[in-house]
Each structure stands twice: as structure tokens, then as C-alpha cells.
């Protein structure tokens, strides 16, 4: 059965979607941008700071659903500028230093609220 996951420790959905949905021991996390859940505003900073905030938001959603970073099987990283890939990758490696998930990264024309990065995630138990 489908279960909607929501936590105040990650940004609230800003549209008609859920932070995450779990079904059949698989968690699908909506794309996260660098919004501070305490203020509801996007953080200022470079790609490293924004990536760190996005991954903190993802970790909070994983924890709320009873998962952890080791359960992540797939990430999709959307970057507003592919020249930020190397710096994003450094921070990404701080979170996924073992049990690295499969991943794709794309440059996109624009992201919500002018974010430099958005990451969607799939985790499985």
C-alpha cells in the first residue's frame, strides 16, 4: 500500500506533490532544492553549500521514513550549470562515501526559485 511521507525537518512541498512516497519497501523522494526547513527560504551560497542543504533535506526525509543514506539506490542530480559538477560531486561524496547509489546528472535550463541544484532520490530496503 502506498504511504505518504512528510517531515517538518525537510522543506514542505510547494505544490501538489509529496515530500516522498513509499510503496513495496521502496521510497521515492521528490526533487529537493536547497531550502532551509526552519525558515522555508532557499539558502544563499555556492553550489557546495546548496548541495549540502539538499542532501541534509534528503537525509531528513529518509530518516522520517525509517531509511538511511545506505538505502539509497538511485539519485538524479539536476544542475543549473554543469561547470558546478566537480564541486557538487565533492559534497555528494561526503554523504555517499560508501554504498554509493547509481546516479545521473544533467544540466537544466532552470530550477525552482533559481536554485543551483535539485536532487531526486530512490531508496529501497
Residue matched to cell numbers 516522498: 20
* Chain segment 39-55, per-residue pLDDT in tens: 999 999 999 999 999 99
If residue 47 lies in a helix (H) or strand (E), which one and from where to where? helix 47-64
User: What are the percentages of helix, strand and coil residues in the chain, rounded to 5?
Assistant: 30, 30, 40
pTM for the full predicted model: 0.96
What's the confidence (pLDDT) of residue 11? Answer: 95
- What are the residue ranges spanned by the domains of the chain? 3-124
The correct CATH number of 3-124 out of 3.30.1330.40, 1.10.10.10, 3.40.50.2300, 3.20.20.370 is: 3.30.1330.40
**Beta strand pairing status for 102-107 and 72-79?**
parallel
In this predicted structure, what is the pLDDT of residue 99?
Answer: 87
Nearest of 60, 63, 35 to residue 50 by alpha carbon: 35
- The answer to whether residue 13 scores a pLDDT higher than 90 is no
Predicted confidence band at 29 (pLDDT cuts at 50, 70, 90)?
Answer: very high
Are the CB atoms for 62 and 8 separated by under 8 Å? no
Amino acid at each position: 500500500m502506498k504511504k505518504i511521507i512528510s517531515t517538518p525537518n525537510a522543506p514542505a512541498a510547494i505544490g501538489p506533490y509529496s515530500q516522498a512516497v513509499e510503496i513495496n519497501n521502496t521510497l521515492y523522494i521528490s526533487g529537493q532544492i536547497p531550502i532551509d526547513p526552519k525558515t522555508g527560504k532557499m539558502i544563499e551560497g555556492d553550489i557546495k553549500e546548496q548541495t549540502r542543504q539538499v542532501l541534509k533535506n534528503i537525509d531528513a526525509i529518509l530518516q522520517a521514513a525509517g531509511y538511511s543514506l545506505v538505502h539509497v539506490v538511485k539519485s538524479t542530480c539536476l544542475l543549473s550549470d554543469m561547470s558546478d559538477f566537480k564541486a557538487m560531486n565533492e559534497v555528494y561524496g561526503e554523504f555517499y562515501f560508501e554504498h554509493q547509489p547509481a546516479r545521473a546528472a544533467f544540466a537544466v535550463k532552470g530550477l525552482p526559485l533559481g536554485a543551483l541544484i535539485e536532487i531526486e532520490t530512490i531508496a529501497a530496503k
